[in-house]
Amino acid sequence: MGYKNNWHRYNSLTQQRLITAQLSIGSSGSSTAGWGYNCNSLQQHNLACRNNVNENQVQFTQPLGHDAAVGIIGGGISGLACAQGLARHGMQAVVFDTGEHSVGGRAATRSSADASLRAEWISPALAGVKHLNLAFDHAAQCFTATDPAFQQQVQAWVAAGVVQRWQGPVGVLKPGGRFEPLGGEVPLYVASKGMRQLAQHMADEAVLSSSGGVSVVRPMWVSRMAASHSDNGWQLTGNSRGQGTFGAVVIAHNGKCANRLVGPTGAPGVARQLMRLRLSAVWALMVAFEGAVAVPGGMQGAFVQGSSVLSWAANNSAKLGLQHPEPHAQLQCWTLISTNAYGQANKVPQEKVPADVAAKVTQEMLDAFSELLGPAAVQLPRPVFTRCLWGAALPTNTPNVPCILDAQARVGVCGDWLTGASLQSAVLSGWALADRLAVLRGVQSSAAADLGLGLTEPFQVLREAEIGEFPGVPKTAVAAAPAAAAGGVACGSNGGGRGRQQRRPRQQQQLQRATVGGKQQQGQQQGGGRPAAQAAGVRS
């Protein structure tokens, strides 16, 4: 089956990316995908979910065609990994992302080298300075790799110069300037030029490796999906225009926008699972100090313990090797991330942060940072740039499955939240869903149900590692707060949900046929966790 298209597609990296002046967000409300769905109570949340799910199950009568395209809604790490996986299987895909400056989702970097740091945000003290080189990873901070397949991918990124080991020191910061470096048993990795670079590399790699079969469209807000049995697929609408018909759809974002998109479609199992997800909320403060901050032990990054305000602090100038021009050579760019409790206590409209709240939060986070550093930092250097962002960040519960797939409706979900909160989890989830979609090609509807996954798994409460999970890093180092006291079963970063070892026999046989070079794709395994700070998903 061919697919209809009304969009501008990339056939090479030299073509200019689609830039659309106006975003039509339709009924989705916010102009930023992936933000949390905040209700006054869990009961209100569940009631709203039940009232917005179309229980009429879509079931396509024809198999998914071998030339059918997959629409991936969300260009974060997991959506891009899914596109890469589909490209390896020779399948076509279009990634739709809302990013104005780049793909990436929570793999986000703000830089003075482009429009992502607006000129009006820059302090008068720095106005007119050329090549200032301010840069902030304001969501994902770093990541680890423990899964063999993901470790191999990371080494390929290192060889390409996209990723490098963060030598640090990185550790745990406690009140009074007590800094305890982490051991070096499990390396921490960062993107060499900021986390956004990694996401863009993944997008470029997917496009190039697919010989035109994969494309990326942004900024694009997909506001509606409707089943078309005559076209054997899903019609997507974005930016007030039809974007084509797709044999399958991947939901690679979460929160209220994903809920509103999927709820009415006729994939009730997927919709209910999306709506069961609960997200934390945090503030991220980007701050440039005019001089070097006096830190204990040469600290470049730290998981914060013992603070009601902060959960993470990182020196981007040191982490990314930023060079700042004279007379600002001593300038340092820091990212401070709040605790979930502080984020919840200082909630604001995510589309527009009130100036008075931003000023209050900025000062309180700076005060908390100064207090943590102790006597060594009697007074922080003068901030010459500050910008704070608020939004939903990490999952507080999970179904603990590598991906979700309604094989009858051909709607799938990938994301780090399905097993925890890590970049590793995000990548493995995208790969796992791509493998299942590849197996689904040519499968009759009567057999398609056996390929389903994650539609009924109960959610488990996640341990409260404030800024996410780093597989391989001791949880005692990452956790900034006691384990969640809510009901449910706490689960670790590697997950214990139904994965490769717990499939239906028929399903296992079908998945064994989805091989590359005779080897089962490792993406079917349960993922570990994404670096704690890496999962702190504040976007704007």
Residue 482's alpha-carbon distances to 41, 115, 180, 182, 486, in angstroms, are 22, 39, 19, 20, 11
Residue type, 141: Q
What pLDDT is attached to residue 140?
92
Q: What span, in angstroms and rounded, lies between the C-alpha atoms of 191 and 247?
A: 34
What tokens does 337 get? 């991330």
81 vs 115, residue with greater confidence: 81
How large is the C-alpha radius of gyration of the chain? Answer: 22
User: What is the pLDDT confidence band of residue 465, given thresholds at 50, 70 and 90?
Assistant: low
What tokens does 83 get? 């596109």
What pLDDT is attached to residue 379?
85
Residue 440 has pLDDT above 50, yes or no: yes
Q: In DSSP terms, which residues pair with 425 in a beta bridge? A: none
DSSP states of 36-98: ----SSHHHHHHHHHTT---S----SSPBPTT-EEEEE--BHHHHHHHHHHHHTT-EEEEE--
**What's the order of all strands across the beta sheet hosting 222-228?**
222-228, 233-238, 241-246
What pLDDT is attached to residue 479?
64
- Min mean pLDDT across 196-200, 321-325, 376-380, 486-490 is at 486-490
The values of phi and psi at residue 500, to 5°, are -65, -35
Q: What confidence tens digit (pLDDT) does each residue in 30-54 have?
A: 222 322 223 334 444 444 445 589 9
Residue 351 has pLDDT above 90, yes or no: no
Q: Is the CB of residue 84 less than 8 Å from the CB of residue 59? A: no
What tokens does 397 get? 């519960």
Rounded to the nearest integer, the mean pLDDT of the chain is: 80
Residue 17 has pLDDT above 70, yes or no: no
Q: What confidence tens digit (pLDDT) does each residue in 209-250 have?
A: 888 899 999 999 999 999 999 999 999 999 989 999 999 999
- Min mean pLDDT across 68-72, 328-332, 391-395 is at 391-395
Q: What confidence tens digit (pLDDT) does each residue in 293-327 have?
A: 999 999 999 999 999 999 999 999 999 999 988 88
What pLDDT is attached to residue 499?
37
Instruction: Classify 423 as helix, strand or coil.
Output: helix
Residue 197 has pLDDT above 70, yes or no: yes
Domain 53-477 classified CATH 3.30.930.10?
no
Residue 386 has pLDDT above 80, yes or no: yes
Which residue ranges make up each domain of the chain? 53-477
Closest to 227 measured CA to CA, from 375, 57, 369 = 57
Q: Of how many residues is the chain composed?
A: 540
Q: Is the CB of residue 407 less than 8 Å from the CB of residue 418? A: no
**Helix, strand, coil: what percent of the chain each, to 5?**
30, 20, 50
Q: What span, in angstroms and rounded, lies between the C-alpha atoms of 225 and 228?
A: 10
Q: What span, in angstroms and rounded, lies between the C-alpha atoms of 499 and 436?
A: 12
- Mean pLDDT score, 164-173: 96
User: What is the pLDDT confidence band of residue 352, given thresholds at 50, 70 and 90?
Assistant: confident
- Mean pLDDT score, 177-189: 91
What pLDDT is attached to residue 485?
24
What tokens does 194 get? 């900021």
User: What is the pLDDT confidence band of residue 493, given thresholds at 50, 70 and 90?
Assistant: very low
What pLDDT is attached to residue 390?
82
What tokens does 140 get? 């994902």
What pLDDT is attached to residue 14?
26
Residue 529 has pLDDT above 60, yes or no: no
- Mean pLDDT score, 448-465: 85
What pLDDT is attached to residue 49?
45
What pLDDT is attached to residue 312?
96
Closest to 348 measured CA to CA, from 71, 540, 202 = 540
Closest to 437 measured CA to CA, from 153, 69, 56 = 69
Residue 453 has pLDDT above 60, yes or no: yes
Instruction: Classify 130 as helix, strand or coil.
Output: coil
